[in-house]
Amino acid sequence: MSKNRTLPFGYAYENGEVVRNQKEARAVAQIFELYILGKSLSEIPEMLTIPFNGEDSKWDKHKVKRVLENKKYIGDGTYPQIIRKEDFDHVARIMASKRGNKVVLSDELQAIRDKAYCHHCGRHICRKLDRHKKETWICYECYYGYKITDDIILSISTALLNILIANPSLAENNEDKPYTPTDEIVRREQNISNSLASSTVEANEIIKAIMQNAEKKYDCCSYDDTAEITKKIKEKLTEHAPLKSFDLMLFEEIVEEIQPDIGCSIYMKLKNGAIIQHAIKRGENNERRS
């Protein structure tokens, strides 16, 4: 049974039809049960043993929340039932009682908010409503405010994803990271060269110094999986059809950050570090200094 990544967690395709993925369906049922028993959105991820959707395997409170709010689990003709409607409604009442008067964001906006960072200073930015109930994204580090409506930020994010789908090579991170020895390693290598030129230094001492220096070089090097991540991103983009609306699954799989900038631009940083930019036309955004 092969699982299609575009399906909600808990389902798979079999012979062209949507069926339950039995292991994931049990995890869905467990999530509902734990929440009804009083476990919080933050506690539940620590109790799950089934990974979430392949490479994006780590659970968090936002993924748990999306499961709890997905009506497909009660069955709708296309999707087989996993959760009883009574349990789904019970969870909805619990969540509503906890929300109180809080503004409830869509899954798409929640995902963008989680990945929203200031392009100017790199700190996480917050979505707020101003006194006119207009959306503003605020950086409390450098006190910049970006007046960008929800519809615009969703549209721009969709446009950037479509640009990548049309040209996956834009997802390549061409940043060259050559090895540069530290000052300590340079000094050690010079001492080794001096020892080799000297007739008074024992061979064992030189060998020991060479081995110690090799350990230092190893310590300052780290595994770089950028090429592997880039390959996976390009494969996802190549296989993906053009978007008619924001694709939450694709966004979470390949995007690391969304970065508004004071220069009327929005940058999308991918999980391999590559960055693409969308310049907002005058009139789309009214950015201000808070």
Domain ranges of the chain: 11-104, 111-174+225-289, 183-219
How many CB atoms neighbour CB 259 within 10 A? 20
- In this structure, are residues 164 and 171 in contact, taking their beta carbons and an 8 Å threshold? yes
How confident is the model over 13-38, as pLDDT tens digits? Answer: 998 899 999 999 999 999 999 999 98
DSSP letter at 259 equals E
Identify which has the larger pLDDT, 107 or 161.
161
Nearest C-alpha neighbor of 230 from the set 161, 165, 168:
168
Its pTM stands at 0.51
DSSP letter at 285 equals B
Distance CA 237, CA 47 (A): 33
Distances from the Cα of 160 to the Cα of 97, 109, 243, angstroms: 37, 16, 10
Cα angle 249, 255, 261; round to 5: 130
In this predicted structure, what is the pLDDT of residue 282?
45
In this predicted structure, what is the pLDDT of residue 1?
42
Tokens linked to 130: 């101003």
In this predicted structure, what is the pLDDT of residue 260?
83
Tokens linked to 211: 């081995």
How confident is the model over 145-154, as pLDDT tens digits? Answer: 777 888 888 8
DSSP letter at 27 equals H
Distance CA 24, CA 286 (A): 44
Nearest C-alpha neighbor of 272 from the set 191, 194, 185, 170:
170
- In this structure, are residues 147 and 134 in contact, taking their beta carbons and an 8 Å threshold? yes
- Residue 215's pLDDT band, with cuts at 50, 70 and 90, is low
How confident is the model over 161-185, as pLDDT tens digits? Answer: 999 999 999 998 765 455 566 677 6
Identify which has the larger pLDDT, 89 or 189.
89
- Residue 82's pLDDT band, with cuts at 50, 70 and 90, is very high
